[in-house]
């Protein structure tokens, strides 16, 4: 079977959660005999065809971007070409141009879409986009919710309940590099061995202003890994609060990220809006056996992190509650260790790449059979 993924960004141009999810799908299903291609847009030039982790990435130039909706005229023609040799076309939502390209390219192959998130912020544009969105979701053969929690709380997904199935993301620990002793020693000297860690793109819905406000009331060391559109705004916020115990490291490579995940005391994940549909970096924390602090936003974050079991879940946009959760873990190392162990066990039971790949392979076969 041959599967074509289509999304606006991918490695090596972008390293976000959706890109990581697609990568894990490709690597995991390849072990089951599925050949994967990824069609994506690029603003950086470079080769039109690359091989990454055993799958081929086809890159076309991005022409314009409006309200995070990247578009490319060449992508429509390339989608039509690549779809001819695919058995299943796999879209990743939300991306309005992807919906439009599906119809303009006249894709007639079995199709599925992973529904990564509701559209939360662009309410006005959503009214304009809604007819196309519903036409697209009605047209595809299968829709994947990334957690039972998100399926239950999404008005859009419930509308298509008869063809929605929940398949949580999974990660393969073996695809992550093992940090060298030298790298671990470097970061141990830089940040110590007892700190809260945040990893992610610095976007509005990540709630890092809430974490910073919580730190105004307590002085636990926090390391923030990642870059993004509100990086300077967050640094200025930390400066205004006089925070001396927060380190902004910017983007780091995979070895450094794994070293920091290995060393950290717990994971802080303050996302406060439904745009955070799952939380790949939260799952990475679980995979590394770390206790977690997250907010209850009705999405997959509370499927990964179970309050009182794998960590603590607090109300969203509540710095005092987030700070109290940090205090609870910091002052009770035995509790933190036990929660981290249970987080690792939950990852192994529910969130491996192997389990996700088997579920997607079954979905691909089901939609392919229905169309014959």
**Domains and their CATH numbers in the chain:** 2-172+352-371 (3.40.50.2000), 173-351 (3.40.50.2000)
Provide mean pLDDT across the span 136-154: 95
Residue carrying the six token digits 């309050």: 307
Q: Is the dihedral of CA 182, 187, 190, 192 positive or negative?
A: negative
Sign of the four-CA dihedral 110, 116, 117, 121: negative
Percentage of the residues of the chain whose pLDDT score is greater than 70:
100
How would residue 367 be classed by pLDDT, with cut points 50, 70 and 90?
very high
Ramachandran bin of 106, using left for φ above 0, alpha for ψ from -120 to 50, beta for the remaining angles: left
pLDDT for residue 323: 97
pLDDT value at residue 115:
97
More confident site: 66 or 320: 320
DSSP H helices, the chain, are 17-30, 73-84, 96-104, 123-139, 148-153, 155-159, 181-191, 208-215, 231-241, 254-263, 280-287, 301-304, 319-330, 333-350, 353-370
Asked if the model's pLDDT at residue 195 lies above 90, the reply is yes
Mean pLDDT (the chain) is 95
- CA 292, CA 218: separation in Å to the nearest integer? 18
What is the rounded CA–CA span in Å between residue 107 and residue 89?
8
Q: Which residues neighbour 88 within 8 Å (Cβ) at sequence distance 6 or greater?
A: 1, 2, 3, 4, 109, 110, 111, 112, 364, 367, 368
Reply yes or no on whether the pLDDT at 182 is more than 80: yes
Q: Is 150 exposed, middle or buried (0-12, 13-18, 19+ CB in 10 A)?
A: buried
Residues 113-133 pLDDT 10s: 999 998 877 777 888 899 999
pLDDT for res 322: 98
Contact 201, 276 (CB under 8 A): no
Quick one: which of 38, 48, 146 has its CA closest to 89?
38
Strand partners, 248: 224
CA Rg value for the chain: 21
**At residue 17, does pLDDT exceed 80?**
yes
Q: What pLDDT is recorded for position 372? A: 65
pLDDT category at 329 given cuts 50, 70, 90 is very high
- Reply yes or no on whether the pLDDT at 142 is more than 70: yes
Structure confidence at residue 295 (pLDDT): 98
**Sign of the CA dihedral running 94, 100, 105, 107:** positive
With cut-offs at 50, 70 and 90, classify the pLDDT of residue 155: very high
**Above pLDDT 90, what percent of the chain?**
90
State residue 120's pLDDT score: 76
Burial tier of 173 (Cβ tally within 10 Å: 0-12, 13-18, 19+)? middle
């Amino acid at each position: 079977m041959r599967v074509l993924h289509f999304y606006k960004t991918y490695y090596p141009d972008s390293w976000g959660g959706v890109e990581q999810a697609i990568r894990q799908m490709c690597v995991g299903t390849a072990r089951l005999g599925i050949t994967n291609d990824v069609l994506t847009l690029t603003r950086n030039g470079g080769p039109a065809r690359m091989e990454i982790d055993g799958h081929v990435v086809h890159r076309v130039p991005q022409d314009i971007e409006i309200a995070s909706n990247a578009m490319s005229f060449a992508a429509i023609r390339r989608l039509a070409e690549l779809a001819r040799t695919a058995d299943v076309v796999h879209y990743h939502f939300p991306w309005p141009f992807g919906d439009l390209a599906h119809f303009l390219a006249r894709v007639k192959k079995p199709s599925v879409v992973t529904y990564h998130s509701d559209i939360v912020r662009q309410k006005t544009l959503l009214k304009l986009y809604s007819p196309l969105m519903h036409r697209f979701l009605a047209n595809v053969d299968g829709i994947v919710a990334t957690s039972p929690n998100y399926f239950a709380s999404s008005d859009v997904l419930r509308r298509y309940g008869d063809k929605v199935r929940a398949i949580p993301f999974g990660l393969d620990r073996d695809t992550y590099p093992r940090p060298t002793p030298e790298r671990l020693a470097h970061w141990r000297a830089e940040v110590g061995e007892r700190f809260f860690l945040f990893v992610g793109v610095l976007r509005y819905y990540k709630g890092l202003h809430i974490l910073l406000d919580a730190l105004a009331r307590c002085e636990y060391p926090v390391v923030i890994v990642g870059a993004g559109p509100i990086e300077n705004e967050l640094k200025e916020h930390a400066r205004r609060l006089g925070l001396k115990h927060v380190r902004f490291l910017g983007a780091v490579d995979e070895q450094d990220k794994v070293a920091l995940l290995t060393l950290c005391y717990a994971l802080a994940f303050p996302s406060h809006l439904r745009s955070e549909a799952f939380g790949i970096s939260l799952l990475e924390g679980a995979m590394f056996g770390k206790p977690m602090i997250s907010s209850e936003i009705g999405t997959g974050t509370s499927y990964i992190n179970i309050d009182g079991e794998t960590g603590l879940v607090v109300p969203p946009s509540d710095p005092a509650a987030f700070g109290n959760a940090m205090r609870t873990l910091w002052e009770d190392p035995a509790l933190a260790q036990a929660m981290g162990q249970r987080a690792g066990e939950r990852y192994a039971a529910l969130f491996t790449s192997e389990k996700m790949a088997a579920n997607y392979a079954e979905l691909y076969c089901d939609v392919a059979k229905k169309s014959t």
